[in-house]
Amino acid sequence: MKYFTFGMETMRITQDYNGKASHYNHSHGSPKDYPIDVAGVDGGQSAYFATVDMKVTAIKGVGNSSTNTIWLESTEKVTTPTFNDFVWITLTHWNDGSKTAKYKVGDVIKKGDIIAYEGTDGASANHLHLVCGKGHSNNWVKNSKGSWVIKGDSLPPEEVMYIDPKFTKIVDNKNLKFKEVPKEEPKEDKTEAFFPKKGYFSLGDNHKNIGKIAEFMYKTFPSYTNKKALGNYYGPYLQSSIKEFQKRAKAEKKYDAEIDGNVGPKTLKALKKYGFKE
Ligand SMILES: [Zn+2]
């Protein structure tokens, strides 16, 4: 997994998410979002770069009265200061005719490429209005305070983005406490193994995945699964249900191993053919 970082070479926040100029109703209504206005090195048009590969999920406002806004989400899960997941960002106020206006939904903007330059579409001075969050987003929604906020799980930017001090110089952070990107590589997200160390489930074991299997058997094969098989304990009722399953699956050529009443990788594969989900 990669760290997710802020994408401008200079961070000069001109309004934080509680700003009375225009953001207060965003972060105090329902639903809420947490916009910051970012300007670059001066009053001109600094660029906002993709810091990981990001896919365009929506682009609105070009050539109409809505304020130009682009929605993007990371193509992979990333590591942020508070979570590991997909991240979305929106950038608003770039101008018609700028490079951003040419992007299409589905385009992937590669790490290091420019997403947008500051602009004045719907604004009086060059800047970008930046909103970010966890998961996915591709739209606006009007909140209880009458503000159009970004739909989705918006979070304060300091919870979503690290600062890479080798890339970004902070000139004004409006006292938002951004963390610096850690020096060590982020840990890989280990998907928890389905089976315990021995590699399969058998009589006498106790595990939450046994509970899942038992529930699946009882729902899918009630004719030969006793209700007493339910629960996280691998008892004789579940064992006999699994034996019967193995026998029948073998007859239907969906299982080709021993009829032993244990659940290992081969039985798991067969269970999935009948709709079981890990
Ligand atoms: Zn703003």
188 has pLDDT over 70: no
Instruction: Write out the two tokens for 9.
Output: 């070479």
| Residue 179: inside a domain | no
pLDDT of amino acid 127:
98
Residue 39 lies in a domain: yes
pLDDT digits (tens, 9 = 90+) for 220-273: 999 999 999 999 999 999 999 999 999 999 999 999 999 999 999 999 999 999
Are residues 53 and 127 located together in one domain of the fold? Answer: yes
CA of 96 to the centre of ligand 1 (A): 18
Shared domain check, 152 and 256: no
Look at residue 169 and tell me whether its pLDDT is greater than 70: yes
- The answer on 223 and 162 residing in a single domain is no
Distance 36 CA to ligand 1 centre (A): 6
Q: Which residues pair with 23 in a beta bridge?
A: none
Q: Stretch 204-215: mean pLDDT, rounded?
A: 96
Q: What pLDDT shows up at residue 278?
A: 86
User: What distance in angstroms lies between residue 20's CA and the mean position of ligand 1's atoms?
Assistant: 11
Taking every pair of C-alpha atoms in the chain, what is the biggest distance, in angstroms?
A: 74
Which of 121, 151, 172 marks a domain boundary? Answer: 172
Phi, psi of 73 (to 5 degrees): -135, 150
How remote is the CA of residue 61 from the centroid of ligand 1, in Å? Answer: 15
Q: Whole domain around residue 19: which residue ranges? A: 2-172
Identify whether residues 42 and 102 lie together within a single domain. yes
Inside any domain, residue 200? no
Per-residue confidence (pLDDT) for residue 74, from 0 to 100:
97
Q: Are residues 162 and 244 in the same domain?
A: no
Domain-located, residue 32: yes
Nearest-angstrom CA–CA distance, 132 and 160: 7
Q: What is the whole-number distance in angstroms between the Cα of residue 182 and the centre of ligand 1?
A: 29
Do the beta carbons of residue 176 and residue 16 sit within 8 Å?
yes
Q: Is 217 found in the same domain as 165?
A: no
| Per-residue model confidence (pLDDT) at position 156 | 98
**239 within domain boundaries:** yes
The one-letter code for the residue type at 86 is: F
* Domains in the chain, number: 2
Same domain, 101 and 232: no
Task: Answer yes or no: is 203 within a domain.
Answer: no
CA 179 – CA 176 distance, rounded (Å) = 10
CATH number of the domain at 43, please. 2.70.70.10
Is residue 79 one of the residues assigned to a domain? yes
pLDDT bin (cut points 50, 70, 90) of residue 196 is confident
In this structure, are 7 and 121 located in the same domain? Answer: yes
Per-residue confidence (pLDDT) for residue 193, from 0 to 100: 83
